[in-house]
Amino acid sequence: MYWSRFLSLHALWVTVSSMMQHYPSVWGHYDVCKTQIYTEEGKVWDYMACQPEARDMIKYVKVTLDPPDITCGDPPETFCAMGNPYMCNNECDASTQELAHPPELMFDLEGRHPSTFWQSTTWKDYPKPLHVNITLSWNKTIELTDNIVITFESGRPDQMILEKSLDYGRTWQPYQYYATDCLDAFHMDPKSVRDLSQHTVLEIICTEEYSTGYMTNSKIIHFEIKDRFAFFAGPRLHNMASLYGQLDTTKKLRDFFTITDLRIRLLRPATGEIYVDEQHLARYFYAISDIRVYGRCKCNLHATGCKEENKRLLCECEHNTTGPDCGKCKKNYQGRPWSPGSYLPIPKGTANICIPSISSIGNPPKFDRIWPNISSLEVSKPNQANVCDNELLHCQNGGTCINNVRCQCPPAYTGILCEKLKCERDPGGCGQNSGQGAMAHRPLVLLTALLAAAGLCTW
């Protein structure tokens, strides 16, 4: 009896799960660029938006320090212990491996005993500021997917700025300010990411949360990426549909999480007090044991792989695109302007592949081993005005831009850019069961009906 009921429930669950694959609760991971499908015209490629997996980007970083001679040990000098700032018999000596603290120790694998770390010279030139710029460069556009984490072996600095560049270090913008006193240091009121919202997620804030002094259990500084994602995807990032939709249609938001370089500007070391003890300047320095940056190569949704070649990261482009970021069409595939892929519509996104140039159609180049009929290429008509372009004029609500001349809308929407609900034209207006509301409730209603039919539903 119970076994038959279990089998019935299992069969119902499999049925409902397969049907729910068509609804927004399930989103693709964009880990496949194309699959083969069969049509009336034969076997062709079905193209999808795709992106590389997130990875530890520190493996590919190049680090530079300014000033270049700021690392301790040349000449050797003594500094004070972290736990006891008045025990100043520790030594930094660049000529001895066991006593050296070079920059690469910010990125090595950390063992438990002992920890390894980079260390600056001490504040021996006080009151001249002890300023250090640590620049992390990838020579590649990176999309951040997790928090940036910096672990200090010294006390966390009293003042610090995290900056980003989108043009390989030519220009810089602040990402976040850190201080023990934001108003005094940067003339900004202190805030945390929890004080932000969807509408203010791009605000550059100053936080006092990560700027305590010599506390041994407080070594870490965060730049919170996931907390910003959560404004759109929910606290546990379950609603990635909303996040992808925002990233797809809001260029400023997409650019906010995109970098080519990071710069850590250390402006004042941890003092742990209001005044600097000029009699014990060996207490004050910077030391970093670990930096973590997780992200993926930006490939404009045209690649699932990113390889290192000649010490440079390059996207393994598909969709007939090419370039370090898949940012242009291949030769002979320029039948329409290049466009990035799109996360929408659910669940495959839009590949926006590059199509053969009109001049090459008579003698077509190889098209990834399968050449579809010319009629399926949807070559744009010359001199046709752009209705949508996937960059400024987006099809809304999951609509798909077709050859820049029209939006193909989901069943519940209409309008030039799919901006209107069809039910708004009906005399009864848009009720609870119209549009997306109907789609959201449909699996639950179906499950209830199936359970009732099987005699397993008691409510």
What is the rounded end-to-end Cα distance, in angstroms, of the chain?
A: 20
pLDDT digits (tens, 9 = 90+) for 250-298: 889 999 999 999 999 999 999 877 788 888 899 999 999 999 999 999 9
Going by pLDDT thresholds of 50, 70 and 90, the confidence category of residue 307 is very high
Residue after which a domain boundary falls, among 358, 375, 398: 358
User: Quick check: is 22 in a domain?
Assistant: no
Give residue 36's domain range. 28-52+299-358
Within this chain, do residues 276 and 136 fall inside the same structural domain, yes or no? yes
Choose one of 249, 277, 297: the last residue of a domain.
297
Instruction: Please state the domain count of the chain.
Output: 3
Q: Which of 317, 343, 358 is the last residue of a domain?
A: 358
User: Tokens in use for 445?
Assistant: 């209603």
Same domain, 44 and 103: no
Cβ contacts of 15-24, under 8 Å, gap ≥ 24: 15/450, 16/443, 16/446, 16/447, 16/450, 19/443, 19/446, 20/443, 21/347, 23/346, 23/439, 23/440, 23/442, 23/443, 24/241, 24/346, 24/436, 24/439, 24/440
| Listed range (110-119, 136-145, 387-396, 417-426) with the worst mean pLDDT | 387-396
CATH number at residue 393: 2.10.25
Q: Is residue 392 part of a domain?
A: yes
Supply the CATH number for residue 126's domain: 2.60.120.260
Does 115 share its domain with 174?
yes
pTM: 0.73
In this structure, the answer to whether residues 204 and 309 fall within a common structural domain is no
Residues 253-259: contacts with CB under 8 Å, at least 24 apart: 253/201, 253/202, 255/166, 256/201, 256/202, 256/228, 257/143, 257/144, 257/225, 257/228, 258/141, 258/142, 258/143, 258/144, 258/166, 258/298, 259/138, 259/141, 259/142, 259/144, 259/164, 259/165, 259/166, 259/295
pLDDT tens by residue, 374-416: 333 333 333 334 567 655 567 778 888 887 777 888 888 887 7
- Percent pLDDT > 90 in the chain is 51
Is the pLDDT at 362 greater than 70? The verdict is: no
Q: Within this chain, do residues 239 and 195 fall inside the same structural domain, yes or no?
A: yes
| Per-residue confidence band for 88, with pLDDT thresholds at 50, 70 and 90 | confident
User: For the segment 34-73, what is each residue's pLDDT rounded down to a tens digit?
Assistant: 998 888 778 888 899 999 999 999 999 999 999 999 999 9
Going by pLDDT thresholds of 50, 70 and 90, the confidence category of residue 22 is very low
Considering the domain boundaries, does residue 5 fall inside one?
Answer: no
36 and 120 part of one domain: no
What is the dihedral sign for C-alpha 45, 47, 51, 53?
A: negative
Residue 371 within a domain: no
Q: Residues 288, 322: one domain?
A: no
Q: Are residues 316 and 232 in the same domain?
A: no
Quick one: pLDDT at residue 397? Answer: 82
Given a cut of 60, whether residue 211 has pLDDT beyond it is yes
Q: Decide if 122 is inside a domain.
A: yes
Does 252 lie in the same domain as 240? yes
